[in-house]
Structure 1
Amino acid sequence: MLDDRDHQLLTLLQDDADRSVADLAERLALSPSACSRRIQRLKDEGYIARRVALVDRKRINLPTTIFVLVKTARHEKGWLEEFHAAVGAIPEIVEVHRLTGSVDYILKIVLPNVEHYDTIYKRLVAKVSLADMSAFISMETVKSLTAVPTRYA
């Protein structure tokens, strides 16, 4: 069970995982050793899955986001394994979600430009059969967070 300090700690780490233990401890009114133990416990218990660096996509020439809605006529295990392998092998596909309703999957693809989408499209359809793919170009990112609310744990 997480207490208020655990929730605060998770929120602070999501905001900036490079914060020093001393800074975190001060903000939480803990000793550095107690704070360090809490961080380790949160890792051990799986609340902290990993620590990563967020790269500025514009600086590395990946400013374009395209969402692709995928429909398939196939749902058997073999096809699902092929699909998972195909999307897993394309690094520009950064998210894949299986959906309810009339669309089976939504893919989030990051690219240097819109024209590059055709390359990704051809790579994907060469690996797995799909009934329909519809692409939607993101014109503006209104909200994009990596942090999640911590109060539900």
Structure 2
Amino acid sequence: MLDDRDRRILSLLQRDASIAIGDLAEKVSLSLSACSRRIQRLEAEGYIAGRVARLDRERMRLPTTVFALVKTAHHSAEWMENFHRAVADIPEIVEVHRLTGLYDYLLKIVLPRVEHYDVVYKALVRKAELFDVSASISMEALKEAGPLPVGYAQ
């Protein structure tokens, strides 16, 4: 069961996982050892799934985002396994969501420039048979993947 301090720790770590343990302990009014134990417990219980560094897309020369909506005529386990492998093998595809509605999948693709989308598209259709792909170029990111709300966790 999480308490308010646990939620505060999770919230602060989401914003900056590199925060010094002493600074974190001070912000949540805990001793260094008590804060460290809580973090270890939160990791052991699976609330903290891992820690990663967010890279600057401009510095990485990947400023362009394309969202591709994919329809398939196939829904067999074999086709899905093949599709999962195909998208996993293309590093520019950074997110894949299976959807309800008119389209089956939504792909988030990061690119050095919009013309590179054709390279990714050709790589994908070589690896997986698709019925339809419709792509849209993001003009501006108003809100990107940020911290999760911590109030729902128990």
TM-score (norm 2): 0.98
- For 1:107, the equivalent position in structure 2 comes to 107
Equivalent residue of 2:19, what SS? coil
Q: Distance in 2 between matches of 1:31 and 1:83?
A: 49
Equivalent residue of 2:106, what SS? strand
Q: Distance in 1 between matches of 2:55 and 2:10?
A: 21
Equivalent residue of 1:110, what SS? strand
Q: CA deviation at 1:108?
A: 0.1
- For 1:71, the equivalent position in structure 2 comes to 71
Q: CA deviation at 1:145?
A: 2.9
Q: Distance in 2 between matches of 1:19 and 1:99?
A: 36
Residue deviations 1:51-99, cap 9 Å, x none? 0000000011000000000000100000000000000000000000000
- For 1:132, the equivalent position in structure 2 comes to 132
Residue deviations 1:121-145, cap 9 Å, x none? 0000000100000010000001113
The runs of 4+ residues in structure 1 deviating greater than 3 Å are none
Q: Distance in 1 between matches of 2:37 and 2:5?
A: 12
- For 2:93, the equivalent position in structure 1 comes to 93
- For 1:10, the equivalent position in structure 2 comes to 10
Residue deviations 1:8-39, cap 9 Å, x none? 00000001011111101111110000000000
- For 1:35, the equivalent position in structure 2 comes to 35
Q: Distance in 2 between matches of 1:87 and 1:16?
A: 29
Equivalent residue of 2:129, what SS? coil
Q: Distance in 1 between matches of 2:146 and 2:45?
A: 20
Which residues of structure 1 form unaligned runs of 5+?
A: none
Q: Distance in 2 between matches of 1:7 and 1:78?
A: 41
Q: Distance in 1 between matches of 2:134 and 2:108?
A: 12
Equivalent residue of 2:109, what SS? strand
Give the percent of matched residue pairs that are identical in Structure 1 and Structure 2: 64
Which residues of structure 2 form unaligned runs of 5+?
A: none
Alpha-carbon RMSD: 0.5
1:48 aligns with 2:81: no
Equivalent residue of 1:37, what SS? helix
Q: Distance in 2 between matches of 1:9 and 1:139?
A: 34
